Copies of this chain bind each other. A is one copy, B any other.
Protein backbone atom coordinates (compact mmCIF):
# COMPACT_ATOMS: atom_id res chain seq x y z
CA UNK A 1 0.00 0.00 0.00
CA UNK A 2 3.02 2.22 -0.39
CA UNK A 3 1.37 3.84 -3.42
CA UNK A 4 -1.27 5.33 -1.13
CA UNK A 5 -0.86 8.60 0.74
CA UNK A 6 -1.35 8.50 4.48
CA UNK A 7 -2.71 11.26 6.70
CA UNK A 8 -2.62 11.56 10.48
CA UNK A 9 -4.96 13.56 12.70
CA UNK A 10 -3.90 13.77 16.34
CA UNK A 11 -0.13 13.75 16.79
CA UNK A 12 0.23 13.01 20.47
CA UNK A 13 2.64 10.38 21.74
CA UNK A 14 0.69 7.57 20.09
CA UNK A 15 -0.27 9.21 16.79
CA UNK A 16 3.06 10.93 16.32
CA UNK A 17 4.98 7.72 16.82
CA UNK A 18 2.72 5.76 14.50
CA UNK A 19 3.44 8.38 11.83
CA UNK A 20 7.19 8.06 12.45
CA UNK A 21 6.89 4.29 12.23
CA UNK A 22 5.11 4.33 8.85
CA UNK A 23 7.54 6.91 7.50
CA UNK A 24 10.48 4.69 8.53
CA UNK A 25 8.84 1.78 6.74
CA UNK A 26 8.73 3.75 3.49
CA UNK A 27 5.14 4.93 3.47
CA UNK A 28 4.15 8.28 2.00
CA UNK A 29 2.94 10.17 5.08
CA UNK A 30 1.51 13.12 3.17
CA UNK A 31 -0.67 15.09 5.58
CA UNK A 32 -0.52 15.93 9.27
CA UNK A 33 -2.96 17.73 11.56
CA UNK A 34 -2.96 18.43 15.26
CA UNK A 35 -5.04 20.79 17.34
CA UNK A 36 -1.67 22.25 18.32
CA UNK A 37 -0.13 23.73 15.16
CA UNK A 38 3.40 23.65 16.60
CA UNK A 39 3.15 19.90 17.20
CA UNK A 40 2.09 19.37 13.58
CA UNK A 41 4.78 21.67 12.16
CA UNK A 42 7.55 20.05 14.20
CA UNK A 43 6.61 16.55 13.16
CA UNK A 44 6.24 17.61 9.53
CA UNK A 45 9.77 19.02 9.63
CA UNK A 46 11.10 15.90 11.34
CA UNK A 47 9.69 13.31 8.94
CA UNK A 48 9.40 15.39 5.77
CA UNK A 49 5.64 15.67 5.61
CA UNK A 50 3.16 18.56 5.35
CA UNK A 51 1.22 20.05 8.24
CA UNK A 52 -2.22 21.41 7.43
CA UNK A 53 -4.32 23.78 9.47
CA UNK A 54 -7.68 22.46 8.33
CA UNK A 55 -9.08 18.96 8.44
CA UNK A 56 -10.58 19.25 4.97
CA UNK A 57 -7.03 19.69 3.62
CA UNK A 58 -5.97 16.42 5.24
CA UNK A 59 -8.84 14.67 3.49
CA UNK A 60 -7.88 16.36 0.23
CA UNK A 61 -4.25 15.22 0.55
CA UNK A 62 -4.40 11.64 1.86
CA UNK A 63 -5.98 8.37 0.70
CA UNK A 64 -5.94 6.73 4.12
CA UNK A 65 -6.40 8.84 7.24
CA UNK A 66 -5.56 7.60 10.72
CA UNK A 67 -7.20 9.50 13.57
CA UNK A 68 -5.62 9.20 17.02
CA UNK A 69 -7.51 11.63 19.23
CA UNK A 70 -8.44 11.63 22.88
CA UNK A 71 -12.12 11.03 23.33
CA UNK A 72 -15.67 11.07 22.00
CA UNK A 73 -15.87 14.88 21.96
CA UNK A 74 -12.68 15.17 19.89
CA UNK A 75 -13.97 12.59 17.43
CA UNK A 76 -17.22 14.48 17.11
CA UNK A 77 -15.31 17.68 16.43
CA UNK A 78 -13.07 16.27 13.68
CA UNK A 79 -15.86 14.43 11.84
CA UNK A 80 -18.86 16.68 12.43
CA UNK A 81 -17.46 20.16 13.19
CA UNK A 82 -17.56 23.11 10.79
CA UNK A 83 -14.18 22.07 9.36
CA UNK A 84 -14.25 18.28 9.18
CA UNK A 85 -12.70 15.18 7.66
CA UNK A 86 -15.84 14.09 5.81
CA UNK A 87 -15.69 17.10 3.46
CA UNK A 88 -14.75 15.75 0.04
CA UNK A 89 -14.07 12.33 1.57
CA UNK A 90 -15.36 10.10 -1.23
CA UNK A 91 -13.07 7.08 -1.56
CA UNK A 92 -11.17 7.85 1.64
CA UNK A 93 -10.42 5.17 4.22
CA UNK A 94 -10.54 6.31 7.84
CA UNK A 95 -8.87 4.27 10.56
CA UNK A 96 -9.92 5.53 13.98
CA UNK A 97 -7.59 4.62 16.82
CA UNK A 98 -9.11 6.38 19.83
CA UNK A 99 -10.82 4.40 22.56
CA UNK A 100 -14.37 5.65 22.27
CA UNK A 101 -17.82 4.84 23.45
CA UNK A 102 -18.71 1.94 21.14
CA UNK A 103 -21.80 3.68 19.71
CA UNK A 104 -19.61 6.49 18.32
CA UNK A 105 -18.02 4.05 15.87
CA UNK A 106 -21.41 3.00 14.51
CA UNK A 107 -22.35 6.64 13.98
CA UNK A 108 -19.03 7.32 12.21
CA UNK A 109 -19.44 4.32 9.93
CA UNK A 110 -22.90 5.50 8.89
CA UNK A 111 -21.69 9.04 8.20
CA UNK A 112 -18.66 7.84 6.24
CA UNK A 113 -20.78 5.49 4.15
CA UNK A 114 -23.07 8.39 3.18
CA UNK A 115 -20.17 10.31 1.60
CA UNK A 116 -18.65 7.24 -0.06
CA UNK A 117 -15.84 6.72 2.48
CA UNK A 118 -15.09 3.75 4.75
CA UNK A 119 -14.33 3.58 8.45
CA UNK A 120 -12.57 1.11 10.70
CA UNK A 121 -12.10 1.25 14.42
CA UNK A 122 -8.62 0.22 15.46
CA UNK A 123 -8.40 -0.07 19.21
CA UNK A 124 -4.91 -0.17 20.64
CA UNK A 125 -3.95 -2.05 23.80
CA UNK A 126 -0.34 -0.89 23.80
CA UNK A 127 1.79 2.05 24.66
CA UNK A 128 4.27 4.47 23.13
CA UNK A 129 7.25 2.20 22.33
CA UNK A 130 4.92 -0.22 20.56
CA UNK A 131 3.49 2.64 18.50
CA UNK A 132 7.00 3.71 17.50
CA UNK A 133 8.13 0.21 16.57
CA UNK A 134 5.06 -1.01 14.71
CA UNK A 135 4.32 -3.51 17.45
CA UNK A 136 0.87 -2.41 18.51
CA UNK A 137 -1.77 -4.79 19.78
CA UNK A 138 -4.70 -3.89 17.51
CA UNK A 139 -8.34 -4.91 17.75
CA UNK A 140 -10.33 -3.98 14.67
CA UNK A 141 -14.04 -3.35 14.34
CA UNK A 142 -15.99 -2.53 11.20
CA UNK A 143 -16.96 -4.25 7.96
CA UNK A 144 -14.80 -7.28 7.29
CA UNK A 145 -14.21 -6.17 3.66
CA UNK A 146 -12.82 -2.86 4.93
CA UNK A 147 -10.58 -4.75 7.33
CA UNK A 148 -9.25 -6.89 4.48
CA UNK A 149 -8.62 -3.80 2.35
CA UNK A 150 -6.54 -2.13 5.08
CA UNK A 151 -4.87 -5.24 6.46
CA UNK A 152 -1.41 -4.68 4.87
CA UNK A 153 -1.14 -1.26 6.52
CA UNK A 154 -2.51 -2.51 9.86
CA UNK A 155 0.07 -5.32 9.80
CA UNK A 156 2.84 -2.73 9.50
CA UNK A 157 1.64 -1.03 12.69
CA UNK A 158 1.04 -4.14 14.79
CA UNK A 159 2.51 -7.32 16.10
CA UNK A 160 -0.93 -8.69 17.00
CA UNK A 161 -4.01 -7.94 14.91
CA UNK A 162 -7.50 -9.19 15.79
CA UNK A 163 -10.61 -8.62 13.68
CA UNK A 164 -13.23 -8.48 16.41
CA UNK A 165 -16.56 -7.78 14.67
CA UNK A 166 -18.78 -4.94 13.43
CA UNK A 167 -18.16 -1.27 14.24
CA UNK A 168 -18.13 -0.73 17.99
CA UNK A 169 -17.15 -4.29 18.95
CA UNK A 170 -13.43 -3.50 19.16
CA UNK A 171 -14.14 -0.62 21.53
CA UNK A 172 -16.24 -2.95 23.63
CA UNK A 173 -13.41 -5.48 23.85
CA UNK A 174 -10.89 -2.73 24.55
CA UNK A 175 -13.07 -1.35 27.34
CA UNK A 176 -13.26 -4.82 28.89
CA UNK A 177 -9.49 -5.32 28.60
CA UNK A 178 -8.84 -2.03 30.33
CA UNK A 179 -11.56 -2.59 32.90
CA UNK A 180 -10.00 -5.90 33.96
CA UNK A 181 -6.50 -4.41 33.83
CA UNK A 182 -7.58 -1.48 35.99
CA UNK A 183 -9.20 -3.74 38.57
CA UNK A 184 -6.09 -5.93 38.72
CA UNK A 185 -4.02 -2.77 39.17
CA UNK A 186 -6.23 -1.56 42.01
CA UNK A 187 -5.97 -5.03 43.59
CA UNK A 188 -2.19 -4.95 43.45
CA UNK A 189 -2.12 -1.48 45.01
CA UNK A 190 -4.21 -2.74 47.91
CA UNK A 191 -2.09 -5.84 48.43
CA UNK A 192 1.16 -3.90 48.40
CA UNK A 193 -0.29 -1.12 50.55
CA UNK A 194 -1.35 -3.55 53.28
CA UNK A 195 1.93 -5.45 53.00
CA UNK A 196 3.87 -2.22 53.42
CA UNK A 197 1.85 -1.28 56.50
CA UNK A 198 2.55 -4.73 57.97
CA UNK A 199 6.28 -4.30 57.47
CA UNK A 200 6.52 -7.14 54.96
CA UNK A 201 9.44 -7.02 52.51
CA UNK A 202 7.63 -5.90 49.36
CA UNK A 203 10.21 -7.41 47.02
CA UNK A 204 9.60 -10.80 48.63
CA UNK A 205 5.85 -10.19 48.54
CA UNK A 206 6.00 -9.47 44.80
CA UNK A 207 8.05 -12.62 44.25
CA UNK A 208 5.45 -14.65 46.13
CA UNK A 209 2.61 -12.98 44.21
CA UNK A 210 4.38 -13.88 40.96
CA UNK A 211 4.53 -17.57 41.91
CA UNK A 212 0.92 -17.89 43.04
CA UNK A 213 -2.68 -17.20 42.06
CA UNK A 214 -2.00 -13.49 42.66
CA UNK A 215 0.16 -13.24 39.55
CA UNK A 216 -0.86 -10.83 36.80
CA UNK A 217 0.52 -8.80 33.95
CA UNK A 218 0.19 -5.62 36.02
CA UNK A 219 2.34 -7.21 38.72
CA UNK A 220 5.14 -7.21 36.12
CA UNK A 221 4.46 -3.73 34.82
CA UNK A 222 3.30 -1.73 37.85
CA UNK A 223 4.46 -3.23 41.16
CA UNK A 224 7.90 -1.66 41.23
CA UNK A 225 6.47 1.70 40.15
CA UNK A 226 3.95 1.52 42.98
CA UNK A 227 6.68 0.77 45.53
CA UNK A 228 9.07 3.46 44.21
CA UNK A 229 6.24 5.98 43.58
CA UNK A 230 7.46 6.25 39.98
CA UNK A 231 4.25 7.29 38.26
CA UNK A 232 5.61 8.62 34.97
CA UNK A 233 2.70 8.24 32.64
CA UNK A 234 2.28 5.37 30.18
CA UNK A 235 -1.45 4.99 30.71
CA UNK A 236 -2.95 7.75 32.79
CA UNK A 237 -5.24 7.53 35.78
CA UNK A 238 -7.76 9.71 33.97
CA UNK A 239 -7.72 7.33 30.99
CA UNK A 240 -8.21 4.45 33.40
CA UNK A 241 -11.25 6.22 34.84
CA UNK A 242 -12.58 6.88 31.34
CA UNK A 243 -12.22 3.30 30.14
CA UNK A 244 -13.63 1.79 33.33
CA UNK A 245 -16.52 4.22 32.94
CA UNK A 246 -17.19 2.98 29.38
CA UNK A 247 -17.25 -0.59 30.68
CA UNK A 248 -19.63 0.39 33.49
CA UNK A 249 -21.95 1.88 30.88
CA UNK A 250 -21.91 -1.36 28.89
CA UNK A 251 -22.58 -3.36 32.06
CA UNK A 252 -25.47 -1.13 33.12
CA UNK A 253 -27.03 -1.23 29.66
CA UNK A 254 -27.03 -5.01 29.87
CA UNK A 255 -28.11 -5.40 33.48
CA UNK A 256 -24.80 -6.86 34.68
CA UNK A 257 -23.75 -6.09 38.27
CA UNK A 258 -20.08 -5.03 38.40
CA UNK A 259 -19.13 -3.91 41.92
CA UNK A 260 -15.40 -4.36 41.28
CA UNK A 261 -15.42 -2.23 38.15
CA UNK A 262 -17.41 0.38 40.06
CA UNK A 263 -14.97 0.43 43.00
CA UNK A 264 -12.04 0.78 40.58
CA UNK A 265 -13.76 3.57 38.65
CA UNK A 266 -14.37 5.33 41.96
CA UNK A 267 -10.67 5.03 42.92
CA UNK A 268 -9.42 6.41 39.60
CA UNK A 269 -12.04 9.15 39.66
CA UNK A 270 -10.94 10.06 43.18
CA UNK A 271 -7.31 10.22 42.07
CA UNK A 272 -8.28 12.38 39.09
CA UNK A 273 -10.45 14.65 41.22
CA UNK A 274 -7.48 15.16 43.55
CA UNK A 275 -5.59 16.60 40.58
CA UNK A 276 -3.57 13.46 39.85
CA UNK A 277 -5.24 12.33 36.67
CA UNK A 278 -1.97 12.58 34.74
CA UNK A 279 -0.17 10.10 36.98
CA UNK A 280 0.29 6.69 35.46
CA UNK A 281 -2.33 4.10 36.43
CA UNK A 282 0.22 2.84 39.02
CA UNK A 283 -0.54 6.08 40.88
CA UNK A 284 -3.55 4.36 42.41
CA UNK A 285 -1.04 3.09 45.00
CA UNK A 286 -0.94 6.66 46.33
CA UNK A 287 -4.41 5.90 47.72
CA UNK A 288 -3.44 2.63 49.43
CA UNK A 289 -0.02 3.17 51.04
CA UNK A 290 0.04 4.48 54.55
CA UNK A 291 1.31 8.04 54.87
CA UNK A 292 1.04 8.85 51.18
CA UNK A 293 -1.06 11.78 50.15
CA UNK A 294 -1.91 11.49 46.50
Distance of A272 from chain B, by nearest CB (Å): 16
Q: A184-B183, A260-B187 are in contact. Are A178 and B254 (CB under 8 A)?
A: no
In the complex, A137 has a CB within 8 A of chain B: yes
**Nearest CB of chain B from residue A266's CB, rounded to whole Å:** 7
Cβ distance A191 to chain B, nearest Cβ, rounded Å: 4
A288 to B256: give the CA distance in the assembly, Å: 6
A250 within 8 A of B: yes
Whether A193 and B264, one on each chain, are in contact in the complex, defined by CB atoms closer than 8 angstroms, is no
Residues in chain B near residue A288, CB distance under 8 A: 256-258
Q: Give per-residue flags for A62-101: 1 if the beta carbon is below 8 A from chain B beta carbons, else 0.
A: 0000000000000000000000000000000000000000
CB under 8 Å from chain B, chain A span 174-188: 176-181, 183-184, 186-188
Among the stretches A18-26, A103-111, A160-168, the one at the interface with B is A160-168
State which size class the interface on A falls in.
Answer: 35 or more
A94 to B257, CA, bound (A): 45
Decide if B183 touches A290 in the complex (CB within 8 Å).
no
Are A183 and B183 in contact, with the CB atoms below 8 A? yes
Q: Does chain B have a CB within 8 A of A267?
A: yes
Q: Which of A187, A260, A287 has the most CB of B within 10 A?
A: A260
Of the candidates B162, B164, B209, B256, the one whose C-beta lies within 8 Å of that of A290 is: B256
Given A125-B212, A216-B215, do A187 and B187 touch, yes or no (CB 8 Å)? yes
Instruction: Indicate if the CB atoms of B208 and A139 lie closer than 8 Å.
Output: yes
The answer to whether A193 touches B256 (Cβ under 8 A) is yes
Which listed segment binds B: A2-10, A32-40, A114-122, A197-205?
Answer: A197-205
Residues of A within 8 A of B (CB): 125, 137, 139, 160, 162, 164-165, 169, 172-173, 176-181, 183-184, 186-188, 190-191, 193-195, 197-198, 200, 204-205, 207-209, 211-218, 221, 235, 247, 250-251, 254-264, 266-267, 287-290
Question: What are 24 inter-chain pairs, A to B, with CB distance below 8 A?
Answer: A139-B208, A162-B208, A165-B200, A172-B200, A173-B195, A176-B191, A176-B195, A176-B205, A177-B213, A179-B191, A180-B190, A181-B214, A184-B187, A184-B216, A187-B261, A190-B261, A212-B217, A213-B218, A213-B221, A256-B289, A259-B263, A259-B266, A259-B267, A260-B264
